[in-house]
């Protein structure tokens, strides 16, 4: 139909950025994943850095995993759910991201920061900005900050703070818009 060609389905995988045992960020990631899958015209995929078949005796594009790389190539945008470790990003997330490069160019990324304390990963988001840019990704300006994470989700991951429905919705609005804009650009606007 004309409608579906005018607005083709977007592919926006979500990456849970830590292998930490007992990670509370998994609750946040599962919640955001449910929300993005509800969006019309958006497909997603769950990626857990703990499950990626990473090698640790090398780094960069040499350790590229074919399946992960294919997913990044197909993606129109990424969602990163990232706990803050010492004001920086989890090492294994970076190790995984560094394994690709051209796959990311001119795509959007939205970041959800997670922390046990009140600032919701505000600092890890800042710390990721230069990396995202160098990978060719455009970081949207509407983050979600899951601060005091233990108060937002219960033991089994049920949402206890309804404000996050609205916050994730705004986050997805901005990410989907930017994903559409950049996809149109990649497909239709020639290099200057």
Q: Which of 78, 85, 87, 136 is nearest to 112 (CA)?
A: 78
The span of 64-72, 74-82, 153-161, 174-182 binding a second copy (CB under 8 A) equals 174-182
Number of residues located near a second copy, criterion CB under 8 A: 63
- Which residue in 8, 154, 157, 185 binds a second copy (CB under 8 A)? 185
The binding track of 79-98 with respect to a second copy, each residue x by CB under 8 A or -, is: ------xxxxxxxxxxxxxx
Give yes or no for residue 39 binding a second copy (CB under 8 A): yes
29 lines the binding site for a second copy (CB under 8 A): no
CA gap 137, 129 in Å, rounded: 9
Mapping DSSP to helix (H, G, I), strand (E, B) and coil, where does residue 23 land? coil
Angle at 27 (CA atoms; ends 114, 36), nearest 5 degrees? 90
- CA-to-CA distance for 18 and 32, rounded, in angstroms? 16
Q: Which stretch binds a second copy (CB under 8 A): 28-36, 69-77, 113-121, 152-160?
A: 113-121
Binding status of residue 57 toward a second copy by CB under 8 A? yes
Closest by Cα among 52, 58, 48 to 14: 48
Nearest partner of 71 among 46, 89, 36, judged by Cα:
46
Q: How far is the CB of 118 from a second copy (least distance, A)?
A: 7
- SS3 state at 78: strand
Q: Which stretch binds a second copy (CB under 8 A): 18-26, 27-35, 66-74, 149-157?
A: 18-26
Report the distance separating Cα 138 and Cα 106, nearest Å: 7
Where does this chain bind a second copy (CB under 8 A)? Answer: 18-21, 39, 50, 54, 56-60, 62, 85-98, 101, 118-120, 122-123, 126-131, 133-136, 138-139, 141, 145, 147, 172-178, 180-182, 184-185, 189, 191-192
């Amino acid at each position: 139909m004309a409608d579906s060609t005018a607005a083709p389905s977007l592919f926006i995988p979500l990456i849970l950025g830590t292998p930490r045992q007992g990670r509370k960020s998994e609750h946040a990631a599962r919640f955001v994943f449910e929300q993005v899958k509800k969006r019309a015209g958006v497909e997603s995929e769950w990626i857990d850095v703990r499950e990626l078949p990473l090698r640790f005796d090398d780094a960069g594009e040499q350790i590229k995993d074919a399946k992960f790389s294919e997913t990044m190539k197909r993606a129109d945008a990424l969602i990163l759910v990232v706990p803050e470790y010492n004001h920086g990003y989890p090492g294994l997330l970076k190790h995984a991201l560094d394994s690709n490069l051209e796959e990311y160019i001119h795509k959007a990324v939205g970041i959800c920061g997670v922390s046990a304390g009140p600032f919701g990963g505000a600092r890890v988001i800042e710390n990721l900005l230069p990396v995202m840019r160098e990978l060719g990704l455009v970081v949207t300006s509407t983050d979600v900050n899951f601060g005091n994470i233990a108060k937002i989700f219960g033991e089994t991951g049920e949402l206890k703070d309804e404000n996050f429905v609205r916050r994730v919705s705004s986050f997805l609005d901005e990410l989907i818009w930017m994903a559409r804009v950049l996809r149109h650009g990649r497909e239709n606007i020639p290099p200057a």
